[in-house]
A and B are shown apart, each in its own frame.
Chain A
Amino acid sequence: MTYRIFLTRLGNGLLVLIGVAIMNFTLVHMAPGDPAMIFAGEAGGGDETYVEQLREDMGLDKPLVTQFAIYAGDLLRGDLGYSFRNQRDVAGMIAERIPATLLLTMTAFGIALIIGVVFGMLGGWFRNTLLDRGLMIVTLVLYATPLFWLAMMFVLLFSVRLGWFPPFGMQSVLVPDAPLERMLDVGRHLVLPAFSLGLFYAATYARLMRASVINVSNADFVKTARAKGVPGGRILRVHVLRNAILPVFSLASVQIGQLIGGAVLTETVFAWPGIGRLMFDAILQRDYPVILGVFLTTALLVILVNIATDLLYRIVDPRIETGAGS
């Protein structure tokens, strides 16, 4: 049963990926400005023949349909293309940037989930108390704050004023040799970007979790448990939490894509060497193969995460597996 569902999901994912590839290609080529012209402009001049030569090198002299056919053919062979600007394989460029992005987004995702769930749980359980109000104000402020501004305030406070964490980069200029020190070095660099990205999403989860906890707390089975004299802590852990977390879980699986999007800003402010920044630079320079490569990889990541959460969801909530859900 699960096996068949997995295959169906995978098939659907593939269709989505094909759709994304077609759409990306069309949109990217619709944007004004082409790479050859920009390249020539940056070179401080150039005549028509130079621009034409560049265009030919980049394969931009062919009709759009032909260009797409070549692109699609390359994709089928697993080739993401070649960046003339960087003179490198796109797949290689993405491969060296992905770990940094995954480290940042997954840490931020963890922070968002943990803080969101804890804040929401406390708020919902102790609803309408001072604690609840305080937590909800904090989450509201975090949610309303632009991501880049929060990041800059973090740098100002924790880096410039207090000097606790480095303001940018993924590692120090003088990288320590010992593996443990190297890990700690990356860890120290990770704190500010991961928190500024994570806190923004934590706010959403906290509010959702709070509402969900309140909702579940009013359910009959919780009332029954109370009536039976089950201790409060156990009710919260066993009855409320496991049920209340499901909506957060579904939202989180959708939002992980946005998280990678949000990483563009965070990676720029903190000079984090991930694919978000690669994408940003590539868009500014109209480096088509890189833009398409990053978009496609991001889409693939989102699809895979969605499939994974879908399957996980079945484990967390057995009603779906048995078809007993409402």
Chain B
Amino acid sequence: MLNKTSFAVTRRMALLGATALLTLPRTALAQTGPVEGGRLVLIARPEPATLGLGLNLQAPTIYVGGKIFESLLTYTTDLEPMPSLAKSWSISDDGLTYRFELQQNATWHDGTPFTSADVVFTADDMMRSSHPRWKLLAETYVERIEADGDFAVTFTLREPFSAFIYAFELSSLPIMARHVYEGTDYRTNPANNAPIGTGPFKFVSWNRGQSIELERYEDYWDDSAAHLERVTFLVIPDAASRETAFEQQMVDVLRPGDVEGFVARRLSETDDVVMTTMGEEFYAPHAFIQMNLRKPPFDNLKIRQAVMHAVDRDFISNNIWFGMAAPATGPVSSRTAFYEPDVTPYPFDIEKAQSLVAESGLSGDDLKVTLTPLPYGQQWDRTAEYIAQQLTQAGLDVSIKGVDVSGWAQALSTWEFDLALNYTYQYAHPALGVARHYLSSNIIQGTPAANNEGYSNPEADRLFAEAANSVDPEETQRLYSEVQKLLVDDVALGWIFEMRSPTIYRDTVNEVVTSAIGAMDTMKATWKAA
């Protein structure tokens, strides 16, 4: 829901914002106020290939680069925009003009002043060629991007696009230095391995295979922030070793996925350890079974319904993901805007699943399918095994086809699969992270993040398009509710669970999760008790 008034952010407002964040887990120590200095040790997993944010969008690149770079905005855990490199912003009533007033005392880590020219260069030039998500967005919706003096930028859209305010998060549009990148080959610029950002921490060294070292940027524009003296990322490739490192107190924070869920639960029960599942509301990872709708048996609605009835989503959430997941009801996560709870339910009922398979009229080889698991660790393996077992009980003949990440991506991208496990980031708005999986215009080969199942429904296309263009929140909600009901009735995908991935940290560390992107954010407010 867009706020069409102008935000002038003052120190008082920032304090109010901080108060709103009191709902987030924090320790008793937090009340004593930030301690300056200290070294925070984190884990880079796997080691980032590069720190050129916007050119590489792997999670570790964003995790490390997120401390060095900033975007125009960040977002509260309620998905309200918060200032970052933009200190205030306004949206015109027709939803076509977005104006950002920039911080006036921000500088790049080499001392060069940050200005609107950097924003225009990043958004209109660099990211248009190197950032697949921004490129698509810019080509579809953005008419022009203009600087107004040194410290204001205006984005003018071709048509209203209500999700546009969510396009200014760190991984969606990291602001890069014009003087560093202009006129160079972005992909091979040496700054990708020794980055220069505007963030609270500046790059010091990268000991390949071992660690990445950052230090506080003394001239950081927000002089009430950047408390830590050093931030170190250790490269620890093995999950058991990461667990040991945390237990041995060599590491302060584990981001989601650093350890398996069952380890996370055990660690969280240790004294002096804090665990939170907040801080991923922006991405809201949503897991589903992808069914290839182009051929039997999944071109048959009854079979797809049978899949939904055969899989006990509560069981998966509680017993395989150890409570670090919540059953999903449809395509939109309950944690993002425009979620519609009132859709056709598919309660766990194996007998119903069996009878649906019988009613489908399919038999023999038509029911023979392979399941391609997501090769992201033991919990995904167990999930795949459970689903295969349930579907076999329902009457399908399922075999698991194990592959590595590359093989998985290839199977989905080339549509050579029957069933596959997958999850998606929702990017705070259905138009950014949800629609792409269902739009018939997005039935494209070459990426596992498109409409790989081949779902095509003109009505869904129309509803998604109208909702994206709507500037009236009520109308938008109505359209998104309608499309969610439609997709659930069609069982376009088999939604299984919303991930609730934990961030785990020692209780001496404070303000780890302060926004909807959690530990991925700048950590400029984070401090460590002496």
Contact = CB atoms under 8 A, between A and B. Distances in A.
B413 interface: yes
Interface core residue of B49, B232, B248, B412 (most chain A CB under 10 Å) = B49
B406 interface: yes
A41 B171 CA distance: 14
B238 A271 contact: yes
Nearest to A52: B446
Nearest to A171: B210
Nearest to A160: B244
Contacts of A280: 237
A89 B292 CA distance: 40
Interface residues of A, number: 57
B208 A152 contact: no
B382 interface: no
B152 to A, nearest CB: 29
B245 A167 contact: yes
B442 to A, nearest CB: 8
A315 B404 CA distance: 47
B402 interface: no
A223 interface: no
Contacts of B403: 32
Contact of B248 (A40, A100, A159, A170): A159
A87 B52 contact: yes
Interface in B407-465: 407-413, 425, 436, 444-450
B58 interface: yes
B132 interface: yes
B446 A268 contact: no
B245 A37 contact: no
A173 B241 contact: no
B132 A285 contact: no
B247 interface: yes
Contacts of B425: 44
A220 interface: no
B410 A270 contact: no
A39 B49 CA distance: 11
A273 interface: yes
A241 to B, nearest CB: 40
A309 B378 CA distance: 43
Nearest to B52: A87
Contacts of B58: 42
Given A169-B210, A281-B46, A88 B241 contact: no
A37 B446 contact: yes
Nearest to B410: A33
Contacts of B240: 152, 155, 269
A94 B374 CA distance: 30
A271 B236 contact: yes
Contacts of B413: 37, 41
Interface string B117-133: 00000000000000111
Interface in A162-209: 167-171, 173
Interface stretch (B187-195, B359-367, B500-508): B187-195
Nearest to A163: B248
Interface in B360-393: none
A46 B446 contact: yes
A166 to B, nearest CB: 8
A168 B187 contact: no
A13 B49 CA distance: 33
A317 interface: no
Contacts of A171: 210
A277 B47 CA distance: 10
Contact of B232 (A33, A57, A173, A278): A173
Contacts of A31: 406-407
B241 A45 contact: no
Interface string B139-177: 000000000000000000000000000000001000000
Given A37-B410, A41-B447, A284-B405, A169 B244 contact: no
B135 interface: yes
Contacts of A41: 409, 412-413, 447-449
A37 B447 contact: yes
B405 A271 contact: no
Contacts of A48: 444-446
A311 interface: no
A40 B241 CA distance: 30
B132 A50 contact: yes
B135 to A, nearest CB: 7
A88 B41 CA distance: 26
A45 B447 contact: yes
A278 B210 CA distance: 12
A43 interface: yes
Contact of A88 (B193, B247, B450): B193
Interface centre among B47, B188, B403, B447 (most CB of A within 10 A): B447
Given A160-B248, A268-B238, A281-B47, A40 B132 contact: yes
Interface of A: 31-34, 36-48, 50-52, 57, 83-88, 93, 96-97, 100, 152, 155, 159-160, 167-171, 173, 268-274, 277-278, 280-281, 283-287
Interface of B: 39, 41, 46-47, 49-50, 52, 56-58, 131-133, 135-136, 171, 187-189, 192-193, 207-211, 232, 234-238, 240-241, 244-245, 247-248, 250, 403-413, 425, 436, 444-450
9 contacts: A40-B447, A43-B56, A87-B188, A87-B189, A167-B250, A169-B236, A170-B209, A273-B210, A273-B235
7 tightest A-B contacts by CB? A273-B209, A33-B406, A46-B132, A51-B446, A33-B410, A43-B57, A85-B49
